[in-house]
Chains A and B, each alone.
Chain A
Amino acid sequence: MAARPGTTGRLAWPVVAVAALGLALLVLPLAALVLRAPWSDLAGLLARESVLQALLLSFGTALVATALCLLLGVPLAALLARAAGWPTLPRRLLRAAVTVPLVLPPVVGGIALLQLLGRRGPLGSTLEQWFGITVPFTTGAVVIAQVFVALPFLVFAVEGALRTGDRRTELAAATLGASRWQVFRHVTLPLVAPGVAAGAVLCFSRALGEFGATITFAGSLPGVTRTLPIASYLAMQTDPDEAIALALLLLAVSIAVLLLLRDRWLPGVRG
Chain B
Amino acid sequence: MTLPTPPAARSALRPMLHADVTVTRGAMRIAAAFDAAPGHPLAIIGPNGAGKSSLLAAIAGLVPLDAGGVVIGDREVDGLAPDRRRIGMVFQDYVLFPHLSVRDNVAFAARMRGRRSTARTAADPWLERYGLTSLADRLPTELSGGQAQRVALARALAADPEVLLLDEPMSALDVEVRADMRDELATHVREFGGATVIVTHSPADAAALADRVLVLEAGRVTQRGTLDELRAAPATPYVERMLAASAE
Contact = CB atoms under 8 A, between A and B. Distances in A.
Interface in B118-146: none
Contacts of B88: 175-176
B81 A174 contact: yes
B79 to A, nearest CB: 15
Nearest to B160: A177
Interface string B80-110: 0111010111010001111100000000110
Give chain A's interface residue range (CB within 8 Å of chain B): 10 to 19
Interface residues of B, number: 25
* Residue from A169, A180, A191 having most chain B Cβ neighbours under 10 A: A169
A175 B82 CA distance: 5
Contacts of A168: 91, 95
A61 B155 CA distance: 45
A173 interface: yes
A168 B111 CA distance: 19
B36 interface: no
A222 interface: no
A179 B83 CA distance: 6
A166 B91 CA distance: 12
B97 A173 contact: yes
A176 B155 contact: yes
A190 interface: yes
Contacts of A191: 98-99
Contact of B112 (A171, A172, A182, A193): A182
Contacts of B112: 173, 176-179, 182, 186
A225 B60 CA distance: 56
Given A174-B81, A175-B83, A187 B89 contact: no
Contacts of B199: none
Q: DSSP majority for the A interface?
A: helix
Contacts, number: 64
A175 B62 contact: yes
A152 B150 CA distance: 42
Contacts of B85: 175
A177 B89 CA distance: 11
Contact of B108 (A166, A176, A180): A176
A176 B91 contact: no
Given A166-B95, A168-B91, A190-B99, A174 B62 contact: yes
A177 B113 contact: yes
A168 to B, nearest CB: 5
Interface string A152-187: 000000000000001011011111111110100011
Contact of B156 (A166, A169, A175, A186): A175
Nearest to A187: B97
B169 to A, nearest CB: 14
A190 B97 CA distance: 10
Interface in A180-209: 180, 182, 186-187, 190-191, 193
Contact of A172 (B61, B81, B97, B113): B97
B199 to A, nearest CB: 15
B97 A174 contact: no
B216 interface: no
A179 B84 CA distance: 9
Interface string A4-18: 000000000000000
Given A182-B112, A186-B112, A175 B87 contact: yes
B159 interface: yes
A176 B159 contact: yes
Contacts of A173: 97, 108, 112
A178 B87 CA distance: 12
Nearest to B82: A174
Given A172-B91, A178-B112, A191-B98, 19 more contacts: A169-B98, A171-B62, A171-B91, A172-B96, A172-B97, A173-B112, A174-B81, A175-B88, A175-B156, A175-B159, A176-B108, A176-B109, A177-B112, A177-B113, A177-B159, A180-B81, A186-B108, A186-B112, A190-B99
Report, nearest first, the 7 A-B pairs whose CB atoms are least far apart: A174-B82, A176-B109, A175-B89, A168-B95, A177-B112, A190-B99, A172-B95
Interface of B: 57, 60-62, 81-83, 85, 87-89, 91, 95-99, 108-109, 111-113, 155-156, 159
8 contacts: A169-B95, A171-B60, A171-B62, A171-B82, A172-B96, A172-B97, A174-B81, A175-B82
